Structure 1
Amino acid sequence: MREHLSSFSLVNGALAGADDLPLAWRGAEIICRGQWRQDVARAAGAIAALPAGDIAVYSADCYQCCVWLLGAWHAGRCVILPGDNTPVTTARVKALSVALAGDFADADLPGWQEAAPVPLASLDPAMRAVDVFTSGSTGEPGRIPKKLAQLDDEMRAQESVFGQHIAPDALVIATVSQQHLYGLLFRIIWPLVSGRPFAAQMMTFPEELSRAPGTAPLVLVSSPALLKRLPEHLDLTAFAARGQAVFSSGGPLPATASLALRERTGLATREIFGSSETGGIAWRDHPEHPWLPLPGVEVAPTEDGLLQLRSPYLPDHAWFATADRVRFEADGRFYLLGRADRIAKIEEKRISLTALEAALLATGLVAEARVVVLEGARVELGAALVLSDAGRVQLQDSGRNTLVQHLRSVLAQSIERVGLPRRWRFIDALPQTRMGKTTEQDVRMLFEKPRLPQVAATQQLDDATVLTLLIDPDLAHFEGHFRQAAVLPGVAQLHWAVHFARTLFEMPPAFKGMDAIKFQHVILPDAQVTLTLRYRADKQQLNFSYSTGERMHSSGRIVFGAAA
């Protein structure tokens, strides 16, 4: 018989649940709460033996993280949860004068197995339980403390909303890390307060959805990073047969991805809206529906039309104003209208980056857009775009320059000319963190001066490989030229020919010479040119030519041989 949910309160810590109640699956192995209690008692003993202070925990294994987490709490310590264990992050954590437990290089506590166990007692709900870090999407990550009662109350409230539709023994599987607040709440805290087991290993590839351990129903805790990139050919039959719920958070989930998953599995994706600072705020299960506040959360608009809230998951009961623009329905639900804090000042004009992105999406040529401020000799805007099918066709048929001019002309109908993006990147996907967030820093890196052109298409002929190259005006080779006079240097054309040839053909390592090199017509910024490569293995000779239609830009032969 299932225990009453009150017994699973976080206040009971590792004392909650019968010994034979499954807590986690690691591969095909089931770890029950009895074994977990013993591990927590040893981890608490290991931590208690350290000097007083916080404990930083990192582990790729969710069960190990759960043991360290509860061990620290039973030892009266707060857990610092960094998002990763890279050398830079590890150094930042060490600077906080904390001990390191888990998968850190030179961890103070790499394991708990040899420690003497200590008796376990109930926990103080007012204790500072964890410090998590914001995503740092607009700057340096911020440190956010959370009390034990905040974690407990939030996930017991979520259980009251979603738990009635999920089997008591459903297995929680995930594609997100427990090192971030969303993953911590849904991969560890929710299973602990609901009595459901969780999978210790995080799923990395979509194909793993059909290989979840056991036979129990499944709850998928995921993010847009995976859900919007599920391959069309992927067979989701096995997952659909066991799946009872799909959750997504960490960033906006495109409507197309939500509806496609519903069509393929019959499951509505439950999106959770919130932040590290606020915890969960609201949820919805259809991309066209308004957001419904979670239990206990009060929401209202500010005088400026921004979302504000009062919540038991905040440090106090004061109203907390967000930077999210909002429109309320009469029944208290609301629609999000974009961020209000994404305002750039360009030549004394205030430009809404959110409005620019919305206008780009409205063209039908863009599937995803991110506009960022680029600091340099002058402040300008850069647009990183994932094109829609229609946009890719136009890029292929009309060329990069024509597409950029068309997008600029559309934007100019609603945006002051000074606020139009000057630099453009057409990419396959926006850079994302493991939580599905796209940070300003990662997008800005896309605009660092490239040294190679973008390959728009590749065609294999009987005796040659033909590449269609987009000549970005921001290429480093154009640096220092006046825009009207910039031409692509011949040395760059030679370098590109060799670079791309080495990715396509088996060629000797050493350069031996050049022959019949001709430069006939210049290659200008924003051009779309064809690079034709032929390699004669018998002569160890690469033949190359750059052309636009019938116009030949350059051609020649390059000879290779063995290293001296």
Structure 2
Amino acid sequence: MPGESIRERLYEIAAAAPDRIAIVCGGERITFGRLVATATASARGLVALGTAPVALDTVCSLDCVRAVVTILISGRPLVLLDSQLPEDRRTAIVDLSGAQRLSPEAVVALSGRKPLRPLSRADTAVLLFTSGSTGTPKAVRHGQRLWLGQAVDFAHHLDVGPEDRIGSALPIGFGGGMDVVVMALLNGAALHWYDPREIGRDGIEEWVRSNDLTTLHATPSLLRSIVASWSAEAAPRTLRLVTTCGEAVHSADVASARARLGDGFAYCNLSGSSETGNLAFAMVGSGAEVPERIPAGVPGVNKVVRIDSPDASGAGEIVVESEFVAEGYVLGDGTRFEPVDERVRRYRTGDLGRFDADGRLNLLGRMDGAVKVRGYLVEPSEIEAAALRAPGVSEAVVIAQRTDAGAVVAAFVSGPGAREVAAIRRHLALALPSWMLPTHVVPMTSLPRTERGKVDRANLVVPAERPPFAAARPGVELAAAEAWRRELGVAIGRDEDPFALGGTSLGLVRVLARIEAETGRALGVHDVVADASPAGIAGAAGSAAPEALPASATRLGGDAGPVVWAFCGAGADPSCFADLARAYDGTVYALAQHGLERRGVPDWTVAAMVRRHLRTMRAVQPQGPYRLVGHSLGGILAIEVARALRAEGHDVAALTVLDTLLPPGARPVGTGTTPVSGPAIAAPPLVERVRVHARVYTAGVIRREHALQEKVFWEQGVRVGARWRPRPLDVPARVVIAADNPDDPQWWRRILTGPLDIDRVAGDHHAVLHAPTIHTVARARARLSDPLPTAFTRRPNRAARVAVHPVVRSGVCRVGPG
């Protein structure tokens, strides 16, 4: 072990190689000799100010790393305040630690002559604050020896040495980032630091290449982002090692990295905690086959890792015994640490794990979250790995809970295919044993994350367990239940809503086709979308008197309460508003393009579409107040229907526009804003253009397979919408804009001049039709259900309230219905 303290080890390196580069950040660099000399002078000034811990406001700069080294040399405990933490959180950490708060510039500017006290291995180097799994703040006391042990681990497992140029894309304010800083410096390597949260991710590729980095250290989620945006075909020529830490990593992550960055580097995932430091290293050598499931790996140097009270499968609590774990808690549960002898301490992790036949540790989740199904221990990591192999799933987290009724397992998924819940269920049914299949598959636009960049499991709400359901009755009902079982990959009760279990409009088409093949009963989507349960389909098959509505209109449920008219986007059938109907306490009528569901010539102007929809609306609801919701093209129709109703003297109580992308000719002039533009896309071949034109101009006349029918009507609707030219309209309105919509929200103020709310929400164009956004729309009683006060409806235009959510903007390509 090199030395008794961080200070002693740094002095050794500076004496041996004073001219070697120590730190490179923000275009600045410093050698080991100068770093240690200036840090020692500043440390002497720092100890003259007191002995309390020093809370450092971290920023991505050379001075920040110099300040970290200064505090470590001084012997005063270091408290790291990450730049992205809310100020109230940073203030709370300062108060809890009793620290003196300083900026990096203030620390490096200090100078003095006060002698530095000797340091021993057990002396506190860092107070690392973590909320742990409970949310209660804990201050973990890291001794000098923990960090010396970390440095030895990196030298032993990762072969880090003086010839390396270490690239850290991790925040220095958290344990993983601090690990890399100390590991690099104590092994005499050059530290290159780049915090993408402050600088942005666009420059990472250039940073890696221009500095000839030999190692790259990131979180799994950041690595996915780097891989996705890596533009150059050639692999980085000097990169020999990529590591990740902080959260679970999967084989697909490693395979994707190799596909874009080349296979000339080794990969290692680091497991550990604030209490243990490094726990294990999972190394995949350069060119080696990537295992289907990446374990925690081989335990760190000088650590004894054992499984306490293992069950028949070998799973039990992970216990670590070593001199090089944390000294204990300043705040928090002190019973987890216990002495073994004068030097060694035992730490009970509270995590489940087992060793495989090759001596590699596998993590199985928290002990307090472990559940068994039919006597088998559910392994969330195995379910996550299987979910990530499903098409279109880029992230997956599985949470298992015990309830009075039994175990509930929820898989939270995100990615372009996350909303294809039925397809994901079918994939999992082929990949996993039946007892490991999740109770719920929950699609999300993106997984919530903490300020540390980890998945925020506390904000993932596991749905309640499915209640017992009644079996389907013989006949059409049983045929429908079996067709839905094949479609969804899960059994369904006679009264259960298949859309709540992941059903889609395209899936409903397949189900109806199976029912017709088996029973001879032909039904359309419009016949059953209001109630697509097996009982509902059977009822529709035997119903003699369906509601007298045009083919383009469908009642989605509700026999009482205020009526909402929902206008579908281009190519979208009424099922797109199924989530709205489920969440809304009233009656929802969905209006689609004429000819989409049944043979008929579609309308070729917005005015013609509006006239047709008004005839339907007057037949059902002769008088206002009218409440209108429109998605995409439907937003344009809702606006023009509102205009026509107002002109006739009717009350339009509320208008909600869901992610309507304004056509170029409809964008207000003089806003000073231009939309986000993506790369140029080559025009399709002439033959394809002719084929598309032929399909569009025969839309509704020639019946096509459902998916192609939707695409054709999407093309037709886009052409109709492109010719729309808006005029100002004074009605109470709300505009919801998705994250990938490039329009300037303020453009809508030129169009909707009445009381206006504008919300930008996370998610894409179609996500606004699903939870949580559509639930917010449905429950906004003042906008949909309750008539607005007269004084409010007559108020002059006020400044729009724009609620901008933290999202990543991107170019827009509208594909599919809507």
Query: Above 0.5 in TM-score?
Result: yes
| Aligned pairs for 1:45-60 within 5 A | 45-60=44-59
Secondary structure of the 1:490 match is: strand
- Number of aligned positions between the proteins: 488
- Inter-CA distance 168–468: structure 2 relative to 1 (3 Å threshold): farther
Question: Does 1:260 find its partner at 2:419?
Answer: no
Question: Does 1:202 find its partner at 2:195?
Answer: yes
* Letter of the 1:506 counterpart: R
* Letter of the 1:320 counterpart: Y
- Inter-CA distance 274–147: structure 2 relative to 1 (3 Å threshold): same
Query: 277, 283, 287: which one pairs with 1:279?
Result: 277
- For residue 36 of structure 1, report the CA deviation from its aligned partner: 1.8
User: Residues 138-191 of structure 1: CA distance to partner in whole angstroms, max 9, x if unpaired?
Assistant: 53343211001111122123213322xx562321111111211121111x2112
Q: Which residue of 1 aligns with 2:457?
A: 440
Q: Which residue of 1 aligns with 2:301?
A: 295
Unmatched 5+ stretches in structure 1: 104-108, 448-455, 458-463, 510-527, 543-557
Q: Which residue of 2 aligns with 1:518?
A: none
Secondary structure of the 1:179 match is: coil
User: Residues 310-361 of structure 1: CA distance to partner in whole angstroms, max 9, x if unpaired?
Assistant: 2232234344333443332345333334444324799xx9996838945972
- For residue 121 of structure 1, report the CA deviation from its aligned partner: 6.6
Distance (Å, rounded) in 2 between the aligned partners of 1:293 and 1:373: 26
Q: Which residue of 1 aligns with 2:319?
A: 308
- Inter-CA distance 497–140: structure 2 relative to 1 (3 Å threshold): same
Distance (Å, rounded) in 1 between the aligned partners of 2:589 and 2:210: 62
Distance (Å, rounded) in 1 between the aligned partners of 2:454 and 2:34: 36
Secondary structure of the 2:153 match is: helix
Question: Does 1:321 find its partner at 2:348?
Answer: yes
Q: Which residue of 2 aligns with 1:191?
A: 184
Question: Does 1:10 find its partner at 2:6?
Answer: yes
Query: 583, 586, 604: which one pairs with 1:478?
Result: 583
Q: Which residue of 2 aligns with 1:90?
A: 90
Distance (Å, rounded) in 2 between the aligned partners of 1:132 and 1:93: 10
Secondary structure of the 1:95 match is: helix
Q: Which residue of 2 aligns with 1:384?
A: 412
Q: Which residue of 2 aligns with 1:431?
A: 448
Q: Which residue of 1 aligns with 2:60?
A: 61
Distance (Å, rounded) in 2 between the aligned partners of 1:215 and 1:404: 42
Distance (Å, rounded) in 1 between the aligned partners of 2:81 and 2:126: 10
Q: Which has the larger radius of gyration?
A: 2
Task: Determine what percentage of the aligned residue pairs are the same residue.
Answer: 18
Distance (Å, rounded) in 2 between the aligned partners of 1:497 and 1:273: 48
Query: 309, 332, 337: which one pairs with 2:359?
Result: 332
Distance (Å, rounded) in 2 between the aligned partners of 1:72 and 1:171: 24
Secondary structure of the 1:81 match is: strand
Distance (Å, rounded) in 2 between the aligned partners of 1:213 and 1:413: 45
Unmatched 5+ stretches in structure 2: 285-289, 328-338, 465-503, 506-567, 591-625, 631-637, 639-653, 671-709, 731-749, 755-795, 798-818
- Inter-CA distance 239–35: structure 2 relative to 1 (3 Å threshold): farther
Are the aligned partners of 1:81 and 1:180 in contact in 2 as well (CA < 8 Å)? Answer: yes
Secondary structure of the 1:69 match is: helix
What TM-score does the superposition give when structure 1 sets the normalisation length?
0.70
Question: Does 1:498 find its partner at 2:498?
Answer: no
- For residue 78 of structure 1, report the CA deviation from its aligned partner: 0.8
Distance (Å, rounded) in 2 between the aligned partners of 1:356 and 1:333: 16
Query: 121, 145, 149: which one pairs with 1:149?
Result: 145
- For residue 468 of structure 1, report the CA deviation from its aligned partner: 5.4
- Inter-CA distance 372–467: structure 2 relative to 1 (3 Å threshold): farther
- Inter-CA distance 413–312: structure 2 relative to 1 (3 Å threshold): closer
- Inter-CA distance 487–327: structure 2 relative to 1 (3 Å threshold): farther
- For residue 132 of structure 1, report the CA deviation from its aligned partner: 1.1
Distance (Å, rounded) in 2 between the aligned partners of 1:43 and 1:142: 29
The structure, 1 or 2, with the larger RCO (C-alpha pairs under 8 Å, 6+ apart) is 1
Q: Which region of structure 1 is more displaced relative to structure 2, 258-267 or 364-373?
A: 364-373
| Aligned pairs for 1:90-129 within 5 A | 90-96=90-96, 97-102=98-103, 110-113=106-109, 115-116=111-112, 118=114, 123-129=119-125
* Letter of the 2:177 counterpart: G
* Letter of the 1:126 counterpart: A
Secondary structure of the 1:320 match is: strand
User: Residues 493-528 of structure 1: CA distance to partner in whole angstroms, max 9, x if unpaired?
Assistant: 45675352376653599xxxxxxxxxxxxxxxxxx9
- For residue 46 of structure 1, report the CA deviation from its aligned partner: 4.4
- For residue 258 of structure 1, report the CA deviation from its aligned partner: 0.9
CA RMSD of aligned residues (A): 4.8
Are the aligned partners of 2:244 and 2:270 in contact in 1 as well (CA < 8 Å)? Answer: yes
Distance (Å, rounded) in 2 between the aligned partners of 1:413 and 1:329: 20
More helix by share: 2
Distance (Å, rounded) in 2 between the aligned partners of 1:48 and 1:539: 70
- Inter-CA distance 313–29: structure 2 relative to 1 (3 Å threshold): same
Secondary structure of the 2:657 match is: helix
Secondary structure of the 1:227 match is: helix
- Inter-CA distance 536–383: structure 2 relative to 1 (3 Å threshold): same
More strand by share: 1
- Inter-CA distance 299–503: structure 2 relative to 1 (3 Å threshold): farther
Q: Which residue of 2 aligns with 1:369?
A: 396
User: Residues 185-215 of structure 1: CA distance to partner in whole angstroms, max 9, x if unpaired?
Assistant: 11x2112211111124334426523334865
Secondary structure of the 1:341 match is: helix
Distance (Å, rounded) in 2 between the aligned partners of 1:65 and 1:362: 38
Question: Does 1:179 find its partner at 2:185?
Answer: no
Secondary structure of the 1:178 match is: coil
- For residue 31 of structure 1, report the CA deviation from its aligned partner: 0.8
Distance (Å, rounded) in 1 between the aligned partners of 2:9 and 2:42: 13
Secondary structure of the 2:108 match is: coil
Q: Which residue of 2 aligns with 1:516?
A: none
* Letter of the 2:659 counterpart: F
- For residue 64 of structure 1, report the CA deviation from its aligned partner: 2.9
Distance (Å, rounded) in 2 between the aligned partners of 1:220 and 1:319: 32
Q: Which residue of 2 aligns with 1:537?
A: 725
Are the aligned partners of 1:228 and 1:254 in contact in 2 as well (CA < 8 Å)? Answer: no
